[in-house]
Amino acid sequence: MTAKIISGTEIAAQIREELKTEVAMLKANNNIQPGLVTVLVGKNPASVSYVTAKGRTAHELGFYSIQDDQPETIAQDDLLKLIKNYNEDPRIHGILVQLPLPVHINENKVLYAIDPDKDVDGFHPVNVGKLMIGEGRFYPCTPYGIQQMLIRSGVNTDGAEVVVVGRSNIVGKPIGMMLIQKAKDANATVTFCHTRTKDIKAHTLRADVLIVAAGKPNAITADMVKEGCVVIDVGVNRIGVTPEGKAKLAGDVDFAAVKEKASMITPVPGGVGPMTITMLMLNTVRAAKIAAGIAVD
- Give 78-130 pLDDT, tens digit per residue: 999 999 999 999 999 999 999 999 999 999 999 999 999 999 999 999 999 99
List CB contacts of 154: < 8 A, sequence separation 6 or more: none
- Give 27-49 pLDDT, tens digit per residue: 999 999 999 999 999 999 889 99
Q: 234: left (phi > 0), else alpha (psi -120 to 50), else beta? A: alpha
Model confidence at 223, pLDDT cuts 50, 70, 90, reads: very high
- Give 154-199 pLDDT, tens digit per residue: 999 999 999 999 999 999 999 999 999 999 999 999 999 999 999 9
CATH superfamily of 30-116: Leucine Dehydrogenase, chain A, domain 1 (3.40.50.10860)
Beta carbons of 236 and 268 less than 8 angstroms apart:
yes
- The CATH class, in words, for 141-274 is alpha beta
With 70 as the cut, is the pLDDT of residue 234 above it? yes
Q: Name residue 95's beta-bridge partners.
A: 37
What per-residue confidence (pLDDT) applies to 1? 67
Beta carbons of 40 and 68 less than 8 angstroms apart:
yes
Measured in degrees and rounded to the nearest 5, phi and psi for residue 122 equal 75, 25
d(CA 144, CA 103): 29
Each domain of the chain, given as residue ranges in start order, spans 30-116, 141-274
Same fold for the pair 30-116 and 141-274: yes
Measured in degrees and rounded to the nearest 5, phi and psi for residue 107 equal -60, -40
d(CA 99, CA 18): 28
d(CA 140, CA 119): 9
CA terminus-to-terminus distance, the chain: 37
Query: Which residues are marked as active site?
Result: 54, 98, 121
